C-alpha cells in the first residue's frame, strides 16, 4: 500500500464550481492548464493572450503551479528579438489519474499524468473483481510514488451506468458483486473519488483526446464485437442522456429488418453488423478472441472475393447506421473501434459510399470515418482522462 498517497479531496473541491474569489482562481487555473495542454510548452505571455488573462495574473498562477510541481520551466527558445520567453510545460511526475476497465474476459489499467502522457498501460485476461483490483494495485505500486497525487479513478464497464456516474443499472454480460468491487477499490485508493462509466463512452472520450478524433470537438465512436455500442462527444463533453444510457445503438432498428438479434427482436443494427452477422456474411466461424477472428477474416479477404463481397454487404449496413447517427448528431469525425478497426477499409469503404448516398443535403459534409488507433486500452485511457476533467475545468483544486 501507499500510505502517503495524497488525494485531491472530493467533498471539498467539488462543492461549488465558482462563487467566491478562490473559485475564480480555480477556474482561471483550469484555463491555464487547458491552454498548456492545448498549446504545449508556452511562455507566460502566450498563456496570457490565449486565456485572455492579464500577464500579471498568469504570472501568479504559474508560480503557484510551479510550487505545486504541476509545471516546470523549460529552456528558453532564443533567436527572436526581445527578451526571450521562458516556456513552462506541464509536468507529468506528480499528478496522475488511474483509469480501469473491467470487461467480460479482460481487465485493463492505465495511469495517465497531468501532461496527458500515458505513464503505464497494462491488460490481462480475466474478468473478476479480484483480477481488476490486483491489476490496479500493481499499477499503483509500480507507477504512483508516495509523494504523488492521485486526482481520481474511473472504472469503465460494459454496462448501463446511471447518470450519477457511480452505479450500474444493467450489466447482462458481467457477473460482479458491485458492492464488493466498490469496497475493494475504495480501500485501494482511500479518499479518492471513484467514478464508474460506460466503456464505449470512455473509449469515445479517449479517441477525442488522444486518438483518431483528436482536435474534433464533436465526435462519435462506434465499437463492436458481438455487441455494438457507441459514445457521443459534443463540444468536448460526453453526451450521457437523462438516465445516463445514451449511446446504446446496438439495438436500434437499422439495417436488415428481418435479421434476428440475440436479444430476441428483429431488425437491430447489431443483427446486421455485429460480429456474428459479419461472420455469417463471410461464411467463417469464430476463433478464440474477437481480435484474432477479425484478423483471420482480413487475411482471407486478401485472397477470397466472396469474403470481400460479404464485408461489402456488412459495410453498407454499417454506413446506413452511421448515416442515421450522423444526421441526428452531426459529428465531425466518426471513429470505428472493435473489429471494424481490424478490418478497416474492407468495411469502411462501402460504409463511406452508403454514407455519401444518404447525406441530407449538398450543404452537409460527410463526417470523416476513421479507424481507432488506441487498441484495447482505449476505454481505460478514456476513464483516466475523465478523472482529469474536473481538474482541467477548474472544478477542483490541485494546490494546497
356 in contact with its own copies (CB under 8 A): no
301 in contact with DNA (CB under 7 A): no
- The residue count for binding DNA (CB under 7 A) is 33
The one among 12, 84, 130, 172 contacting its own copies by CB under 8 A: 172
**209 to 238, contacts with its own copies by CB under 8 A?**
216-218, 230, 232, 234
The one among 85, 127, 262, 344 contacting DNA by CB under 7 A: 85
75 in contact with DNA (CB under 7 A): no
Stretch that binds DNA, among 52-60, 209-217, 326-334, 375-383 (CB under 7 A): 52-60
Stretch that binds its own copies, among 77-85, 203-211, 295-303, 355-363 (CB under 8 A): 355-363
Cα 225 to Cα 105: distance, rounded to the nearest angstrom: 13
What is the number of other CB atoms lying within 10 angstroms of the CB of residue 51? Answer: 17
The H helix count followed by the E strand count for the chain is 14, 15
The one among 169, 260, 399, 400 contacting its own copies by CB under 8 A: 169
Q: Would you state the cell numbers that stand for residue 249, as one nine-digit string?
A: 445503438
55 in contact with DNA (CB under 7 A): yes
Do 174 and 158 form a contact (C-beta atoms < 8 A)?
A: yes
40 in contact with DNA (CB under 7 A): no
What is the enclosing helix (H) or strand (E) of 389? helix 378-392
Cα 107 to Cα 99: distance, rounded to the nearest angstrom: 11
Smaller CB separation from its own copies, 99 or 321: 321
361 in contact with its own copies (CB under 8 A): yes
- Region of 375 (left: φ > 0; alpha: ψ -120 to 50; beta: rest) is left
What is the enclosing helix (H) or strand (E) of 204? helix 199-209
Q: 298-313 burial string, b = 16+ CB within 10 Å, else e?
A: bebbeeeeebbebbbb
- The residue count for binding its own copies (CB under 8 A) is 62
Shortest CA distance to 237 belongs to which of 268, 197, 275, 271?
197
Do 253 and 270 form a contact (C-beta atoms < 8 A)?
A: no
Q: Closest distance between DNA and the C-beta of residue 10, in Å?
A: 19
What is the number of other CB atoms lying within 10 angstroms of the CB of residue 366? Answer: 14
The binding site for its own copies (CB under 8 A) comprises 15-16, 18-19, 21, 23-24, 27-28, 31, 51-53, 57, 160, 169-170, 172, 216-218, 230, 232, 234, 239-254, 257, 263, 265, 320, 323-325, 327-332, 357-358, 360-365, 367
The binding site for DNA (CB under 7 A) comprises 19-22, 24-25, 28, 43-46, 52-57, 59-63, 76, 78-87
Amino acid at each position: 500500500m501507499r500510505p502517503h498517497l495524497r488525494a485531491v479531496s472530493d467533498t471539498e473541491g467539488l462543492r461549488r464550481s465558482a462563487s467566491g474569489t478562490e473559485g475564480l482562481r480555480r477556474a482561471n487555473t483550469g484555463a491555464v492548464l487547458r491552454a498548456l495542454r492545448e498549446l504545449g510548452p508556452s511562455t507566460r505571455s502566450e498563456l496570457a493572450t490565449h486565456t485572455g488573462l492579464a500577464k500579471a495574473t498568469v504570472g501568479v498562477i504559474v508560480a503557484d503551479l510551479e510550487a505545486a510541481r504541476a509545471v516546470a520551466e523549460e529552456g528558453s527558445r532564443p533567436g527572436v528579438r526581445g527578451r526571450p520567453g521562458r516556456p513552462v510545460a506541464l509536468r507529468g511526475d506528480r499528478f496522475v489519474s488511474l483509469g480501469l476497465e473491467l470487461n467480460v474476459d479482460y481487465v485493463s489499467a492505465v495511469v495517465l499524468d497531468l501532461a496527458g502522457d500515458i505513464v503505464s498501460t497494462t491488460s490481462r485476461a480475466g474478468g473478476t473483481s479480484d483480477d481488476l483490483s490486483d491489476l490496479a494495485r500493481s499499477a499503483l505500486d509500480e507507477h504512483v510514488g508516495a509523494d504523488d497525487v492521485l486526482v481520481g479513478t474511473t472504472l469503465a464497464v460494459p454496462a448501463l451506468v446511471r447518470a450519477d456516474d457511480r452505479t450500474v443499472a444493467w450489466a447482462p454480460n458481467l457477473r460482479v458483486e458491485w458492492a464488493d468491487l466498490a469496497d475493494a477499490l475504495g480501500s485501494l485508493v482511500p479518499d479518492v473519488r471513484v467514478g464508474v462509466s460506460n466503456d464505449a463512452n470512455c473509449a469515445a472520450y479517449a479517441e477525442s483526446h488522444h486518438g483518431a478524433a483528436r482536435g474534433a470537438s464533436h465526435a462519435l465512436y462506434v465499437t463492436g464485437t458481438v455487441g455494438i455500442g457507441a459514445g457521443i462527444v459534443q463540444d468536448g463533453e460526453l453526451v450521457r442522456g437523462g438516465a445516463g444510457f445514451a449511446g446504446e445503438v446496438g439495438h436500434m432498428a437499422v439495417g436488415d429488418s428481418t435479421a434476428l438479434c440475440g436479444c430476441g427482436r428483429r431488425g437491430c443494427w447489431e443483427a446486421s453488423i455485429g460480429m456474428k452477422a459479419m461472420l455469417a456474411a463471410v461464411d467463417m466461424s469464430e476463433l478464440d478472441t474477437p481480435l484474432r477472428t477479425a484478423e483471420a477474416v482480413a487475411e482471407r479477404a486478401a485472397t477470397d472475393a466472396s469474403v470481400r463481397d460479404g464485408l461489402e454487404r456488412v459495410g453498407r449496413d454499417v454506413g446506413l447506421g452511421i448515416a442515421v447517427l450522423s444526421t441526428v448528431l452531426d459529428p465531425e469525425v466518426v471513429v470505428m473501434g472493435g473489429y471494424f478497426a481490424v478490418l478497416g477499409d474492407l468495411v469502411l469503404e462501402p460504409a463511406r459510399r452508403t454514407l455519401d448516398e444518404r447525406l441530407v443535403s449538398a450543404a452537409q459534409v460527410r463526417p470523416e470515418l476513421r479507424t481507432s488507433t488506441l487498441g484495447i486500452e482505449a476505454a481505460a485511457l478514456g476513464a483516466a482522462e475523465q478523472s482529469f476533467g474536473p481538474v482541467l475545468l477548474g472544478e477542483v483544486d490541485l494546490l494546497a
